[in-house]
Structure 1
Amino acid sequence: MPLRALLIMTFCNVVWALNVVVSKIAIADLATPPLFYALLRSVIVAMVLVPLLRPLPAKLWQVLVIGLAISGGSFALLFMGLETASPSAAGVVSLTGAPMTVLFAMAGDNQMETSTGLLLVFLSAVVGALGSVFVKRLEIPSIRLQAWAAVASVAVLIPLTAAMETGQVAALSNAPWELAACLIFAAIVVSVGAHTAYYRLLQEHDANLVVPLTLLTPILTIVFGAWLTGDAIGERLVIGGAIALAGVAIIVLRPSETFTRRFLVRPRF
């Protein structure tokens, strides 16, 4: 992996970890409905990248579906999960995204208690992992993919937030500048910046080389959660996170078909 790619992935890891914390603040502290927050984020991305919607890409429906998975779909589930889950716990659960991306590609203290929020974070990781695998099959620049992903997300999230949520206007009026700052970070820095760079690397390199570099994100999420939102880092969280990270690292770093043979079959002399 070139040094340039390693530097890009370091940037992406820091941005993604901060995004979890920033999103928690927007949803929990600023009382922004999560689907509405995901919608506003997608609207900003679509407005910034609207010139890139032309010409229409080949296999438009695939671009829209995959774009929804890596954008509004996974983000909406994550934001819904953050209503009740802490950033640190969400970071540990999101570890599942790395091995699932690799496996899908090969196939073609109380914070860690099971909760609806953490289940939604897990589903977010599943949806995002599936979308990441199929990104390699799209013949479209990653920045244009973000544009169409935003369009697909807006189309889906408008009726969902209208039907399932209340308090959208109040969220905009209560803390408009704080919410705007969160949205600009989520839309411009995370989606247009980090996500575009990451999916470009996925298109240029094998997923098995790129995905392991994302394992830094959950660790940084726990650190930023403790620092910025005061998450309690108890013994159970640390032990659970360490076990999860070790297991994920084994799965991601040793994904070849010879894995079981190498470790379970004694060599012949």
Structure 2
Amino acid sequence: MADTLTTDISVTVGLLKSVRGRVIISGMGKSGHIAKKIAATMASTGTPAQFVHPAEASHGDLGMITEDDAIMLISNSGESRELSDIIEFSRRHRIPMIAITKNPDSTLASHADHVLTLPDAPEACAIGMAPTTSTTCSLALGDGIAVALMQVHGFDRDKFSVFHPGGSLGANLRAVRSVMHTGESLPVVAPNDNMSSVLLTMTSKGFGVAALVDGGKLVGAITDGDLRRNMKTLLDKRAEMVANPTPITVPEHLLIGEALSIMNERKVSSLFVVGVGQKLVGLIHIHDLIRAGVI
């Protein structure tokens, strides 16, 4: 398919980028299912798009299409009768129309402003008739256009997260600050605290760690492992004598998915969140990620 596409693909992307309204995508039968998916992908990646069923369009849904829109019609043969009213509506109101079809000499292609030609390849089924190869190519082409539009629109991860607040995708794209523990819930101890006091803090807060804080700055951390390594003389020591002076920390703007990767890589169950000057601002625990739906 890449070998058969013309320069119309870049012109098409430029046209869709400049559309003030939405990209209206339509197709009949299996092409309609592909059109729905392409519309959904575009809408979720920064290009306003909507699927309009061609049969419903003939019974009033043409009113969903405005002169600020662009229309993309998918038909393998280019002769789907159900598309005729949308085609006529597009021409009458001078709405830009893009055709995705295998037949460049079809009725659809002859009326379109831009034609994206699918390869003249056989369908994958035994009888060569069920839409398989053609729908796969249409979907790949639609996804390619959507991804190109993402690039020209400068659609980044922050914008992506706005449109995907639910599910594991949304959870991975939330910042650590949205789930971290702060204030009185933090297991904070001072460098000169005796270890009996540290043990009480670690037990009461329930994270299995303690943050060594001096003047608001995180200067160390005590974990269960540190307790075991100092077991023989533990109660005779002060917190600064047991603490690791270089704890693993993350910034509060870090994405939750990235925090999970760090936990997995470093084999830890919690991370301290710091701000400017290593100021302790929070703590994120593996259980927080589970509740957020990342795991």
What TM-score comes out, normalization by structure 1 length?
Answer: 0.29
Structure having the higher strand fraction is: 2
- Higher share in helix: 1
Structure with larger RCO (C-alpha < 8 A, sep 6+) = 1
**Which one has the largest radius of gyration?**
2
